[in-house]
Structure 1
Amino acid sequence: MSPKTKSKVGLTPPKPPKTRQRLSPAEREQQILSGAISFFSRHGLDGQTRELAKEIGITHPLLYHYFPTKKALIERVYQEVYLGRWNKHWEDWLDAPTELEEKLNSFYQAYAKAILTPEWVRILIFSGLSDGYIPNKYISLLQSKLLPRIARETRNYLGLQHVQEEDERITQLIWGLHSGIFYLGIQQWIYGLPAPQNIEQIIKDRVRAYIVSARDLFGHTDG
C-alpha cells in the first residue's frame, strides 16, 4: 500500500486565512514553512507549490520571494522537521557509562516522542518514493551520530571490542531495532491502523529483544 493511497489518513488540510494577514518577514516565512510541512505530509513532495500557496492563502510569487526554489523549501522542511527534532542530549545519553539496556531505553523513549508524528513519518516516506533527498540526508545523520554509538556500546557489552568481522551483522541488528521503532509510525500514519496503546512498553520490549538477540548471536563475554 503506497502512502499516496492513504494520503488522507487522520490528516486534514489547514483552513487558509480569509484575508491577507500583515505579518513580519520572519512570521511570513514561518507561516509558509509550517504550511509546507502540513502540505507535503498530505500530498507528498511532488505536490505543486502553486497549490501550496493557495492553501496557505498567499500568492505564488510571494512564496517564491521567501523560497526561490522548491528545493530550498524542501531543505528548510528537512531542517525544521528532522534536524530541528534531533536532540544533542541523546548522544550524551548513549555516551554515558550506564547499562546498555538503560541507555537504549532512555534514547528510544525520547526519540519515539519526537518522530512518531504524521509529518515526520509521511514526509520521509514520500521523499523516499520521490527523489530520496530527505531519507538520504537523514540516514547520513544516523550513520554519523547514532549507529556508531549503539554499535560501540553493543560491542562493549558483548566484549567484542577487537572482533572486527562482526561489524556488519551488529549494524544490521541495530537497523532492525531502529526500524522497529519507526514502524510504529508506519502503522498509524501510512497504514491507518490505531496507535499502540502502550508505546513505552513496546519500546522496552524491542530494546530487550535487541539485547537478547545480540547476546545469543555473538555471546556475552564481558563477565
Structure 2
Amino acid sequence: MAEKSRQAAKSGATAAPGARARLKQENREGLIVERAIRYFAKVGFHGNTRELARSIGISQPLLYHYFASKDALIEQIFDRIYASKWKPLWEDWLRDRTMPLSARLERFYADYTDTVLTDEWTRIFFFAALRDVNIHKRNTLIVRERIVHVLIREMRAEFEGEPRDRPITAIEEELGWDLHTGIFYLAIRQAILDTPSPLGRHPATKLKIAMFLAGARSVLAQEAQPAA
C-alpha cells in the first residue's frame, strides 16, 4: 500500500511540470495574440513579423515556433476579437417577440457594441479590408446570417403581424444592412475619425434604431402596395 502511494506521488510529481509547461505555452501564445492585436491595430497588416516580434519582445524564430505563418496568427486574431466574443443569446434577444422590436434592438446593440465594436476591433477590421485579409469577409458573412437576416424576419413579424414565408428581397436586405452599418459607423467615428457622437454611443444607437424603424416601416409599406 505504501509502495502504491509512493508511486502515485512520484507520478504526480512528474506530471506537474508538464502541465505547468503546457500552461506556460498557452499563456505565451495568448500573450502573443493579444500584443499582435495591438500591433496590427496600430500599423495595419502590412507590418511584418520581424517588426511584430520586436514589438512583443521576442525573437522572430520564437514567434514562428508558436505560429507557423502570419496567416495562422491572423486566424487566431480573428477568433480572439470576434468569433469567441459572439454570444448565442444575442439571437435569442432579437427573436424574443414578447418585447417590441425597438426594445430588442436597443438591448442587443448596447451589448454588441460594447463587446465587439471596440476601438481595436474597428481598426483591425478596416486594415483587414484594405489589405484583403480574410477577417472582414468572414465577419460580413456572420453579420449577414446572424444579425441582418434575423432583423429582416423580425421586421416582417412586427410590421405584418403574420408574415408569409418568402425569400428576402433586395430592398429588405439593403434596409437590414442600413441599420447595422449605421451603428458600425458610430464605432468608425470614434476609433478612426476621432469624432465620436456628441450624444454618446448608446443614446446615438437608440436614435438610429428609432429613425430606422420609422423609415423601414414606411418603405416596406410602399413596396407592398403594387403587390396588393
Residue 205 of structure 2: aligned partner: 203
- Mapped to 2, the partners of 1:65 and 1:116 lie a distance apart of 31
Give the alignment partner of residue 185 of structure 1, picking from 176, 187, 198. Answer: 187
1:122 is matched by which residue type in structure 2? Answer: R
Contact map agreement 1:184 1:196 (CA 8 A) in 2:
no
Whole-angstrom CA distance in 2 between matches of 1:78 and 1:89: 20
171-180 or 69-78, which deviates more: 171-180
Contact 1:49 1:70 in 2 (8 A): yes
Return the letter of the residue paired with 2:143.
L
Deviation at 1:85? 1.8
TM-score of the two chains, using structure 2 as the length reference: 0.81
Determine the structure 1 residue equivalent to 2:31. 31
Larger Rg: 2
Query: C-alpha root-mean-square deviation of aligned residues, in Å?
Result: 2.0
Larger helix proportion of the pair:
2
Deviation of the 1:197 alpha carbon: 4.3
**Rounded Cα–Cα distance in structure 1 between residues aligned with 2:208 and 2:123:** 23
What is residue 67 of structure 2 aligned with on the other side? 67
Percent identity over paired residues: 36
Out of 194-203 and 157-166, give the one that drifted further.
157-166
Greater CA deviation, 107-116 or 56-65? 107-116
Counterpart in the other structure of 2:58: 58
1:97-129 alpha-carbon deviations (Å, 9 max, x no partner): 221111111111111112332211001000001
3-state SS of 1:72 partner: helix
Distance 2:193 2:53 in 1: 28
Matches within 5 A, 1:143-154: 143-154=144-155
Deviations 1:19-76 (A, max 9, x none): xxxx810111011001100001011112111101001100101001100011000000
What SS class does the counterpart of residue 162 from structure 1 fall into?
coil
Which residue matches 2:101?
Answer: 100
Q: Is the 8 A contact 2:148 2:180 kept in 1?
A: no
Q: How many residues of Structure 1 are paired with residues of Structure 2 in the alignment?
A: 199
Q: What runs of 5+ residues in structure 1 fail to find an aligned partner? A: 1-22
| Counterpart secondary structure, 1:24 | helix
Q: Write the deviation string for residues 3-27 of structure 1: whole angstroms up to 9, x where unpaired.
A: xxxxxxxxxxxxxxxxxxxx81011
Alpha-carbon contact 2:149-2:176 (below 8 Å) kept: no
Q: 1 or 2 for the larger relative contact order (CA 8 Å, sep ≥6)?
A: 1
Matched AA of 2:76: R
Within a 5 Å distance, the mapping from 1:129-148 to structure 2 comes to 129-148=130-149
Distance 1:107 1:61 in 2: 43
Structure 2, unaligned stretches of length 5 or more? 1-22
Partner SS state of residue 169, structure 2 = helix
Deviation at 1:147, TM superposition (A): 1.6
Displacement of 1:132 in angstroms is 4.0
Instruction: Give the secondary structure class of the aligned counterpart of 1:219.
Output: helix
Are the aligned partners of 2:53 and 2:59 in contact in 1 as well (CA < 8 Å)? yes
* Mapped contact 1:93–1:107 kept (Cα < 8 A): yes
Map 1:107-186 to 2 at 5 A. 107-159=108-160, 161-162=163-164, 164=166, 167-186=169-188
Aligned AA (2:104): K
Is 2:221 the counterpart of 1:216? no
User: 1:116, 1:184 within 8 Å by CA — same for their partners in 2?
Assistant: no
TM-score of the two chains, using structure 1 as the length reference: 0.83
